[in-house]
Amino acid sequence: MPDVDMRVELAGVTLKNPVCVASGTFGFGREYGAFYDLGELGAICAKGLTLHRREGNPGPRIAETPMGILNSVGLQNPGVDAFVETELPFLRQYDVKVIANISGNTPEEYGIMCEKLAQAGVDLIEVNISCPNVKAGGLAYGTRPELAAEVTQVAKAHAGSVPVMVKLSPNVTDITEIARAVAGAGADALSLINTLRGMRIDVNTRRPVLKMNTGGLSGPAVLPVAVRMVWEVAQAVDLPILGMGGVSKGADAAQMMLAGASAVAVGTALFADPYAPIRVRDELAALAAGQGLERAAELIGGVKPW
């Protein structure tokens, strides 16, 4: 089979292949670095950072579901300064693009984090807008176009030359409305989807299985929802997309790219198989070669709707 050129572009950043790892499912790479060279990956979306360190939510905070998991980890992380001082230098030992993922409770917090991360020289900043806005009574930024646009504007104003990718929440009626608002506010790329809100109840104790009552659903169960949303967003805005949600096979990655994603991220699949992103990359390369493609990028947006 001929060699396929696996390189893709994401907001002006060249990835050596389209398969990245999703924020919060790969830590800062240390554990997975024991399995393979992190330079095999297209990019690493680091664990979600906040301005100050957070302990996260009390347990139980992960529960299994049919073809997926529910989590309410609650952004446990060491804070942006510890990332810059300790984790980023670790990741910089590898030839891999580093995407820092940030969450804030106010637009100002997003701005401060963008400044610190731009100065530290990350390759891309992924702005998680599925977080409560304390000034708007805890409403998630990602559920209101005007709030999503405000955070995007502030992030862009403080990120210097580092591209800003806004991560959309699927917990909305019309994701294209949020995508348009964020694009209008200057985002350089979009990533989607974050987790879908869900709940499990223990019928004997009558208690929710998660201590926080509800959590975010991820894993193969959400793939069709994610592919549909990537497809809708790709038609609505002219921005590169990092597609994620349930990718665990090369064909899943190909679906995401045909729907319009320039690259994909593997998340929950890592918990069952730490090698999942490497396997997805190799399966994607084989699929592209089998279809006679010279470049994996030829898949992007190639779906032929009826």
Ligand X SMILES: Cc1cc2nc3c(=O)[nH]c(=O)nc-3n(C[C@H](O)[C@H](O)[C@H](O)COP(=O)(O)O)c2cc1C
Question: Interface residues with ligand X (CB under 6 A)?
Answer: 22-25, 47-48, 71, 73, 75, 101, 128, 167, 194-195, 218-219, 222, 244-247, 266-269
Q: Cβ 292 to ligand X, closest distance in Å?
A: 29
* For ligand X, the closer CB: 152 or 195: 195
Q: Cβ 113 to ligand X, closest distance in Å?
A: 13
The Cα–Cα gap between 178 and 129 comes to: 11
Pick from 252, 248, 264: nearest CA to 297: 264
Q: Cβ 3 to ligand X, closest distance in Å?
A: 27
The Cα–Cα gap between 104 and 287 comes to: 39
Q: Cβ 271 to ligand X, closest distance in Å?
A: 8
Contact 73, 62 (CB under 8 A): yes
By beta carbon distance, the residue nearest ligand X is 24
Query: Any idea which residues carry the catalytic annotation?
Result: 131
HEC profile of the chain: CCCCECCEEECCEEECCCEEECCCCCCCCCCHHHCCCHHHCCEEECCCECCCCECCCCCCCEEEECCEEEECCCCCECCHHHHHHHHHHHHCCCCCEEEEEECCCCHHHHHHHHHHHHHHCCCEEEEECCCEEHHHCCEEHHHCHHHHHHHHHHHHHHCCCCCEEEECCCCCCCHHHHHHHHHHCCCCEEEECCCEEEECECCCCCCECCCCCEEEEECHHHHHHHHHHHHHHHHHCCCCEEEECCCCCHHHHHHHHHHCCCEEEECCHHHHCCCHHHHHHHHHHHHHHHCCCCEHHHHCCCCCCC
Contact 222, 185 (CB under 8 A): no
Longest dimension (CA), the chain: 58
Q: Cβ 246 to ligand X, closest distance in Å?
A: 4
* For ligand X, the closer CB: 4 or 189: 189
* For ligand X, the closer CB: 105 or 289: 105
What count of other Cβ atoms lies within 10 Å of the Cβ of residue 290? 10
